[in-house]
Amino acid sequence: MMSEQKISSFQDFWPYYLAEHRLPSNRLLHYIGTALSLALLIYLLINQQWLYIPLCFVIGYGFAWAGHFLVEKNKPATFKYPVWSLLADYKMFGMALTCQLKKEWPKYF
C-alpha cells in the first residue's frame, strides 16, 4: 500500500491502482460492474431515458466497492482520486478484455 503522499499524475496512480486490485475476485467484481453499467448506459442513451443514467454509477460502483470492502479489504481509490479511479477502472477492464493485463503486473510487482 502506498503512503499518504499525494499522487500527482495518472502515470503514478496506475501502479497504486493495480496494487489495490491484486485479488482476482475483486477484479472480477469490477469487471461485472463495469460491463453492466456500460450496457445499461448504452441502453439508456439509445432509449433517451436520461433520468435513469445515475443508476449506471450505482451499479458500477456497487460491484467495485463490494470488491474492495468484502474481498480486498481496502478502501476504494474512488474516495481520493475519483476521476483517475474511473479512468483506471476502464483501462483495467479494457486490458483484461484484450489479455494485456497479465503483461502489466510484472512491470510493477
Task: Give the residue among 9, 60, 57 at the shortest CA–CA distance from 35.
Answer: 60
Lowest mean pLDDT among 50-54, 63-67, 83-87, 102-106: 102-106
The region, left, alpha or beta by phi > 0 then psi within -120 to 50, assigned to residue 99 is left
Helix/strand/coil percentages in the chain, nearest 5: 75, 0, 25
**pLDDT value at residue 108:** 80
Task: Mention every residue, 6+ apart, whose C-beta is less than 8 A from residue 14.
Answer: 88, 91
| For residues 94-100, average pLDDT | 96
Find the mean pLDDT for residues 4-27.
93
- CB neighbours (10 Å) of residue 35? 15
Q: What is the pLDDT at residue 4?
A: 62
One-letter amino acid of 19:
A
pLDDT tens, residue by residue, 24-82: 999 999 999 999 999 999 999 999 999 999 999 999 999 999 999 999 999 999 999 99
Q: How confident is the model at residue 1 (pLDDT cuts 50, 70, 90)?
A: very low
